[in-house]
Structure 1
Amino acid sequence: MSQRSHCQVFLTVVLATATMAAFPPSLRHRPVTQNRILHINTSCDLRNFNVSVTTEKPFKGIIFAKDFSQECRGYGVMKKDVSVSFPTSGCGVRLTSNADEMFYMITVVVQQDKHLRQIKDQERTVQCRIENSAFSVNSRMMEEVIMKEIITEKRDRSSRTGRMKQEGWSKEISPENYSSETKELNDALLAARAWMEIAPSNVNQKDGILQVGEEAVLIVKSTLPVGIGWKVVDCVAHDGLGDSSQKLLDDNGCPVDELLLPEPSKGHSRSIGMMRHQEASSKFSAFKFPDRDRLHLSCSLQLCRSKCQKIDCGEGNRISRNLRRGEEGEILDRLEVFNSVEVLAPGIELEDIRQLERSEADPFRFGNIPGDRTFCVSPDKMALTFCVLGLIFLVAVIVAAVALYKARRNGVPMPYYTRSVFSSSSGSGSAYGSKLLLHESPCMGQSASVRGYGRIL
């Protein structure tokens, strides 16, 4: 085998040994142990979404809402059960409807350790069915108006025939079954509902997930007693915590910026016995806050007597006249409706945006300093850099040693200086007027007759 082949085999063995030392088999094939989730229980009302997780082993990590790891979370205390309560108006909670049922949905992350994210962490999307009574409208002013409507209705019952039916949230109502005005009032209030939905305009898009710029529709739905009017006012977009927000509609229901959210338009109402179902919708281009993938929208539903006053949203025409009590258009109460949707922005790195915001908020951080060459490297990258540099140095030493060995074995003389190192430009320019010559090199295996110093001529 040639000398070159010997060197190649030697280098291959060294590199393989270094790689095995850096990544031992115990680390490459280490099994992942996971604390399995046995079951997840949920309960909810209009304001809170409660999630209870039961694990196979005592749990010491945290459970948090996706995208809200620091703000919406609960800690394990080395027990198999851990519970977390999320506000339905934030933390990425989404309201969906299916036929005549309503559900809250949220994506939670079960992190096995309090401080570390690992491959064994689990992500689950859970939902909770909301009881019909959770959306009941409690308004004393509205009760008075409904009571007057019921009394008027009783006067005209003699001219009515047949059976009236209510659809959606309402139940069947027959005038013959009413024993008192109180029962009619309670039935009307229990049937009253109002909620918000956010959906993509394109039916082929995945529900609950949008991309920035895609067309979406905001829908506010209501089932309210006859004699109660309503309109959408005071809409706000926020990040789920209230840290960042953007006004969309003012107190009169007029848009702050038509490009963000136009004024909602109402559809035709549908009478359902003593109730009336109606929807208001507004199409908009999906947007998001820089540091969140969840967009939350919150609006107020203004309840009025008979019909709400029409406001001209033109410039200078937004001031409404004062209404007297009992007059048509009188504002009775306000309800809050809210929902959320996931909005993605491909190509935008959220972590880079967070770092930029942190750097701008640091008053002691200065940029563009002349001569500043400071840069930061993570511990993992620094360790990898030193490992690569060490391997390169080892290979260089081995190559040099092999070259020296071959030179000694073959007896090839090494190059050395044969001309003067120092010379004068003229004979009188030096104290000696001569040249210092280095005739032979004392290195690289030269003969014993080589002198250790040069000579002066």
Structure 2
Amino acid sequence: MMTPLRLCAIYCLFSISSTSSAFPPSLRYPIPISVNKITAANLTCDVRSFNATVTLQHPFKGLVFAKDFSHECNALGTLSNSVTINLPTAGCGIRLSSRANEKGEKELVYSVVLVAQQDRHLRQIADQEKHLECVVKDDAFLIESQPVVDVLKNDLLERRGKSQRSGRMKKDQDLEDEIRETFSVARVWMEITPEGDEANGGTLKVGEAAVLTIKSTLPEGIGWKVVECSAHDGLGDSSQKLLDDYGCPTDELLFPVFRMGPVQVISVMKHQEAVSRFAAFKFPDRDRLHLSCYLELCRGTCPEVDCSDKNSTDGEVLDRLKVFNSVEVLAPAIDDLRKSERLQLSEPTTSPFSSLPGDRKFCVSPDKVAITFCILGVIFLCAVVVAACALLRSRKNGDESPFYPRSLFSSSTSGSAYGSKLLLHESPCMGQSPSRRMPYGRIL
């Protein structure tokens, strides 16, 4: 008869088993965790660096790093509530994008995903990811090029004509103010977006159509072209050249040449964009793809280069500017294939041909190997003892002659045809002594 206590124990056991099955296998038995949450982040950024000071609820002794760059772009906690990390904008997964603010004005934004790892060496479920965005100031991407300033100054002087000596100081001051006002809106930057989804500008997949756009706002007398583009993993350890020094593609299927868009005139400035559409790719060990290009600034218009004949004459190159950006590129098809391959290796095969003989590998423990060698050694010693006993027995019976007067491999007819029978009769191992030999040496 079931007692109430036993019934209660069975019910509790059934309740625990049914509750545990409701959790996924990775969280079958959840344990309460303590999360040191990020409460605030103070950000400052310019064209070269992204600086973030992260504040947490409790003293932090772990590691803060940019996602996918835990060993290269990190900062250690010092048991205080805040951690400061400095990242270069040319790597570490920093992404530049443009958007419209509340006033409808376009602004440039740097973004990065930071990971707060609670322990310096271990990953835990309590680790956090934080997406941070820093609005770049309007003057961050201003062009600072003295050759371009000199050309612009000469052009302005030619337009105005030679000024009279009496008003020279005033004219020079007006000229400087005009140049400063012109360069206050001159800038160049790069954007990478999925084709048809420029507003989102999120994650790409390998093989998906991507658009690389280089945008510029320059004075009217300055032209430009894109040269020397390359892709890298964010640190420079792995890189691939896409365009050479002339602006010609190294592989047209990997990355085609840029197409220059129409010129939009804005007062004394002009806005122009260069676009290249390509199939997204990535490096095997990184989900972040970094692209960088150089822009050659020319006086007037930069001449087009024929990639089949690179000996064409270039125009007057004033300066070179570098633009860069990054984008997250995933490869779900490749990752799923790798997971299926690992699963097939871990599970036993169910092929109908698994029972066929063949050259297969098997594993044996060191203990079994030692036992096997011991058994083989005992068998060898027994064979030696048996051979020694047979030899002593033959000598004890007084027979000093060899037991095998003929060779097994003799080429003669008598030796080769009846050698085996002769050995059977003359061998002491057959239990016959020399006194009981057959009266003949061969069988006719």
Smaller-chain TM-score range?
0.5 to 0.7
Q: 2:185: which partner in 1? A: 191
- Stretch moving more, 271-280 or 186-195: 186-195
Percent identical pairs in the alignment equals 49
| Correspondence 1:283 to 2:277 | yes
Of 322, 341, 345, which aligns to 2:331?
345
Give the drift of 1:288: 0.7
Q: 1:451: which partner in 2? A: none
- Tell me which amino acid in the other structure corresponds to 1:75: L
User: Mapping of 1:135-284 within 5 angstroms?
Assistant: 135-155=141-161, 179-203=173-197, 206-284=200-278
Q: 1:309: which partner in 2? A: 303
Counterpart contact for 1:178–1:184, Cα < 8 Å: no
Counterpart contact for 1:291–1:350, Cα < 8 Å: no
Give the drift of 1:136: 1.4
Q: 2:428: which partner in 1? A: none
Q: 1:34: which partner in 2? A: 35
Q: 1:67: which partner in 2? A: 68
Equivalent residue of 1:197, what SS?
Answer: strand
C-alpha separation in 1, matches of 2:107 and 2:200:
20
Give the drift of 1:141: 1.1
C-alpha separation in 2, matches of 1:292 and 1:351:
17
* Runs of 5+ consecutive residues of structure 1 not aligned to the other structure: 2-8, 157-175, 324-328, 357-368, 376-457
C-alpha separation in 2, matches of 1:224 and 1:280:
14
Distance 1:277 1:44, change over 3 A: same
- Stretch moving more, 108-117 or 202-211: 202-211
Equivalent residue of 2:252, what SS?
Answer: coil
Give the drift of 1:201: 1.0
Q: What is the CA deviation profile of residues 305-335 of structure 1, one whole-angstrom value per residue up to 9, with x for unaligned ones?
A: 1111211012xx01233x6xxxxx2011100
Distance 1:85 1:374, change over 3 A: farther
C-alpha separation in 1, matches of 2:146 and 2:219:
14
Q: What is the CA deviation profile of residues 155-204 of structure 1, one whole-angstrom value per residue up to 9, with x for unaligned ones?
A: 49xxxxxxxxxxxxxxxxxxx99952111112222221000011111238
* Runs of 5+ consecutive residues of structure 2 not aligned to the other structure: 21-27, 101-105, 163-169, 343-358, 366-444
- Tell me which amino acid in the other structure corresponds to 2:154: K
Of 122, 136, 151, which aligns to 2:128?
122
Highest Rg: 1 or 2? 2
Distance 1:374 1:57, change over 3 A: farther
Of 312, 318, 334, which aligns to 2:310?
318
C-alpha separation in 1, matches of 2:337 and 2:290:
21
User: Mapping of 1:294-443 within 5 angstroms?
Assistant: 294-314=288-308, 317-321=309-313, 329-349=315-335, 373=363
Q: 2:51: which partner in 1? A: 50
Equivalent residue of 1:249, what SS?
Answer: coil
- Tell me which amino acid in the other structure corresponds to 1:44: C
- Tell me which amino acid in the other structure corresponds to 1:41: N
Equivalent residue of 2:148, what SS?
Answer: helix
Of 118, 122, 141, which aligns to 1:112?
118
Q: What is the CA deviation profile of residues 200-255 of structure 1, one whole-angstrom value per residue up to 9, with x for unaligned ones?
A: 11238952211111111110000011111100110001111111111100111111
Which runs of at least 4 in structure 1 moved beyond 6 Å after TM superposition? 350-353
Q: What is the CA deviation profile of residues 264-319 of structure 1, one whole-angstrom value per residue up to 9, with x for unaligned ones?
A: 011111111111110010110111111111111000011011111211012xx012
C-alpha separation in 2, matches of 1:374 and 1:125:
51
Equivalent residue of 2:72, what SS?
Answer: strand
Distance 1:374 1:97, change over 3 A: farther
C-alpha separation in 1, matches of 2:37 and 2:194:
35
Give the drift of 1:348: 2.5
Counterpart contact for 1:234–1:251, Cα < 8 Å: yes
Give the drift of 1:55: 0.7
Q: 1:389: which partner in 2? A: none
- Tell me which amino acid in the other structure corresponds to 1:335: L
C-alpha separation in 1, matches of 2:156 and 2:63:
53
C-alpha separation in 2, matches of 1:342 and 1:373:
43
Give the drift of 1:71: 1.2
Counterpart contact for 1:290–1:350, Cα < 8 Å: no
C-alpha separation in 2, matches of 1:208 and 1:286:
13
Q: 2:96: which partner in 1? A: 95
